Structure 1
Amino acid sequence: MLFFAHSGLRYLVFVTAVATIGYALRGVMTGRPYDKRMRVLSSTFAALLDLGILLGFGLLFSGRFYPQLGGHMVAMIFASVVAHVVAVVQRRRAPEDRTYPPHIVGTAVAVVIVIVGIMAIDRPIFG
């Protein structure tokens, strides 16, 4: 059961990533001021990555380990760090200095790292 929760969570991560990037692109293209919804989307994306890591450690401690998991774990932790850095940097900026492009870049980089991490264990990205 834990394996299916961990494995299925990636779809929520990808949907949230698309929503985060889409909202940030919309903000850039329309020139809208930075708002709370962007912060919430970014934080949700980071939190879902954290939940995936937590579930992954649960699987690890339940005895499911094989050598390829090392690269998978490192990639997922790195993706989570990237997502958190963007959220924290934007939160620490003055409200008038907050912008959308870091969310586009940071979320895209985190998604690429997640895909690399999934490929490290020879699993399909979707399916």
Structure 2
Amino acid sequence: MLNSERIGNEFYQNLGKLFYAVAMADKKVRPVEVKRLRKQVRQYWLDVDEFEDEFQTDSAYQIEIVFDWLQNEEKNDEGYFQEFKDFYKEHPEKFTPKLKALIIETAEAIAHSFAGKNRSEMEIIFRLKLLLD
């Protein structure tokens, strides 16, 4: 696998961690949040680039794969935002203004999907906006 493809896969895997952290901000991932994530991936993320994983599948599906894996592990969100933040700081060149806007839009869509944003979700989205600004 080429280095750029590896970084591309890591990019999407870290987005999966971030979006899981947003969904878990209130300590529970709801089915409507998972549904909203899948809709966002299919509607927006598949067209971002041409990266594929080792199975020749669009790398954007790594968002869902990591999100599902974390959900099945039943782990809380501690540390996943930080892992995304670390990746962001290591590879700032991967985050164009358009991608930053899409990341925020997706995070807000997940947060709004169940009874609007609560305080925990608002806090994590605020931290995300500060990071990406």
> TM-score, normalized by length of structure 2?
0.34
Structure with the larger RCO, 1 or 2 (CA within 8 Å, 6+ apart): 2
Would you tell me which structure has more helix in proportion to its own residues? 1
- Under a length normalisation based on structure 1, what TM-score does the superposition of the two structures give? 0.35
